[in-house]
Amino acid sequence: MFLGTTSEGPVRGRRVVVTGVGVVACCGIGVDAFWDGLLGPAPEGEHRVAGFDATAWFGPKEARRVDRYTQFSVAAAHMARDDAGELTPDPDRAGVIFATGVGGLESLEEQSVVFQQKGPNRISPFLIPMMMPNAGAATVSMRAGWHGPCETITTACAAGTHAVGAAARLVAGGRCDVVVGGGSEAAMTPLGIAAFTNMTALSSEGVSRPFDARRDGFIVAEGAAALVLEDLDHARRRGARIYAEVVGAASTADAHHITAPAPGGSGAATCMELALADAELAPEAVGHINAHGTSTPLNDLAEAQAIAKVFGTPGPPVTSIKGVTGHALGGAGAIEAVSVVLSIDRELIPPTAGYGEPDPEIPLDVVHGGPRSWEPAPVLSNSFGFGGHNGCLVIAPVRD
């Protein structure tokens, strides 16, 4: 159902479709392994990406000169480009928008130890390019040989969603024919984990329970994902496989607190409404919500209140894949965008792992216990970050 004419929005203009996806996550590397992981039990213990071999994408010497988050960025983008098939756009009309919340923390932390123990002369000459947040996007761009916009978004846990929205905007506005949008994070260092622990953001039980009455914090994770976003006509001319279409995006700020959400989820609700307006969709047209759902008491409640404000209760089926993936910070929104695309493509909504005891203050239709079959429809994907950053995407099946 369309609402009629609205002013130009973030992705208004040429139609933007997803023609390739790639993912590196703790529940699986590559699309099929990732999807199987989403439908299975949550990993136990730390949510690191096990079995990741950087030399599959870098030579041994080069791999030592790039941070783990850049390695993830390149791997996810490479898989997405491979998935997109023969992709040879005009290099001047192809770009990269990638996100991270922290950047090369692992390299910075390791070299800080070197500095303290061995002195400044022993610091790696590659430290700056290893730690800088834009290294992921830059390396992806160089690997592809694309000369269009190459930018990095660092809006905390909303960054991955903002990156996909900004990438779609470049295609919709006619600046680019193809853009790789995504996000990456590898901040599971001793310092990073200690910092999250001491601010009491992490689950004391080591279990992610999005929207559950027993939730007590998130599980920090690492990972990356990338999507090839392409002008619909460009994709059709080359006979590309088309997964889905990005039909709306929005961004707002709570302007409330550096870590806590605005009361009642007011900023999040506005962001959802703007994304739907950009997509020219009424709330009842949305068939599924991919929630931010970090498993923290305040954030899950605020998001649920925002969903109820926009959609009523119980509203569309809601899933948070963070019950399986944990929270990959700046990479989370991109990982979740890939899960949305696969949910449309495979006609299944993944369950919310860890959910078992409903919270009476959260009267949502939380998908749990197993995947749910559905007739694919537009999906709203939410991401909210420290600093009050809100990002929403609307991804839909392609309709002629």
Distance CA 234, CA 17 (A): 10
Is 3 a residue whose pLDDT tops 70? no
Summarize the confidence of residues 159-165 as an average pLDDT.
Answer: 98
pLDDT (tens digit, 9 = 90+) per residue, 88-140? 999 999 999 999 999 999 999 999 999 999 999 999 999 999 999 999 999 99
Range of lowest pLDDT (7-21, 78-92, 169-183) = 7-21
Q: Which residues of 133-152 are buried (b: 16+ CB within 10 A; e: fewer)?
A: bbbbbbbbbebbebebbbbb
pLDDT at 10: 58
Which position among 157, 176, 271, 392 bears the catalytic label? 157
Q: Tell me the longest C-alpha to C-alpha distance in the chain.
A: 65
- 310 is written with which tokens? 């926009």
Is 7 a residue whose pLDDT tops 60? no
Distance CA 18, CA 180 (A): 10
pLDDT mean across residues, the chain: 95
Summarize the confidence of residues 182-206 as an average pLDDT.
Answer: 96
CATH number at residue 303: 3.40.47.10
- Give how many domains the chain has, as a whole number: 1
pLDDT at 4: 32
pLDDT at 13: 82
User: Is residue 12 included in any domain, yes or no?
Assistant: no
User: Which helix (H) or strand (E) element contains residue 148?
Assistant: none
Summarize the confidence of residues 19-42 as an average pLDDT.
Answer: 97
400: confidence class by pLDDT, cuts 50, 70, 90:
confident
pLDDT (tens digit, 9 = 90+) per residue, 285-341? 999 999 999 999 999 999 999 999 999 999 999 999 999 999 999 999 999 999 999
DSSP code at position 228: E
CB 392 within 8 A of CB 274: yes
Quick one: which of 186, 192, 188, 181 has its CA closest to 66? Answer: 186
User: Is residue 5 included in any domain, yes or no?
Assistant: no
157 an active-site residue? yes
Distance CA 244, CA 20 (A): 10
Summarize the confidence of residues 184-206 as an average pLDDT.
Answer: 95
User: Is residue 346 included in any domain, yes or no?
Assistant: yes
User: Is residue 3 included in any domain, yes or no?
Assistant: no
3-state secondary structure of 273: helix
DSSP code at position 295: S
Which position among 47, 162, 292, 389 bears the catalytic label? 292
Rg of the chain over all Cα atoms, to the nearest angstrom: 20
Distance CA 142, CA 161 (A): 23
Which position among 288, 327, 368, 389 bears the catalytic label? 327
pLDDT at 8: 45
Quick one: which of 387, 321, 390 has its CA closest to 162? Answer: 390
For CA atoms 389, 221, 372, 337, the dihedral sign is positive
Percent share of the chain, pLDDT over 90: 96
Summarize the confidence of residues 341-351 as an average pLDDT.
Answer: 98
3-state secondary structure of 396: strand
399: confidence class by pLDDT, cuts 50, 70, 90:
confident
Domain that holds residue 33: 17-396
pLDDT at 2: 29
Is 190 a residue whose pLDDT tops 80? yes
